[in-house]
Amino acid sequence: MIGESLWRLLARRREAKLEREQMWDALEQYERPKSLTPFLLLNVAAFYTGVVAAAITEQLHKERHWEKHPGEAIPIMKPVLYMGPYRVRREDFAENAPGQ
């Protein structure tokens, strides 16, 4: 008798749990979509952090060059993370370029 009533109690609890899960599963499709605001804020913060870091790095590069070679033009800083080939045409940027 006690065992039988315990089995009935467990069966009722399990049924109630299944009914609740079915109800929440039915309501889940009507939930509001997750907000994109945290994701966008993180990306904007990361972008501007990179911009500030690049500006600081370039300024430190210029100061180091000026300490060793005062009064000279600053050469273009080589890329830090890009290991591939790159070429800069300096004649377009010279002070005494032809046609000026």
pLDDT tens by residue, the chain, 100 residues:
788 888 999 999 999 999 889 888 888 888 888 899 999 999 999 999 999 999 999 999 899 988 988 888 888 777 778 777 777 666 655 565 454 4
The answer to whether 75 touches 65, Cβ cutoff 8 Å, is: yes
Distance CA 53, CA 62 (A): 14
Report pLDDT for 83.
Answer: 78
Q: What is the DSSP letter of 89?
A: -
For 7, 12, 30, 92, 96, the CA distances from 21, given in Å and listed in that order, are 21, 14, 15, 70, 78
Determine the residue type at 91: E
Does pTM surpass 0.85?
Answer: no
- With contact defined as beta carbons under 8 Å apart, do 97 and 91 qualify? yes
Domain residue spans of the chain:
1-31, 32-75
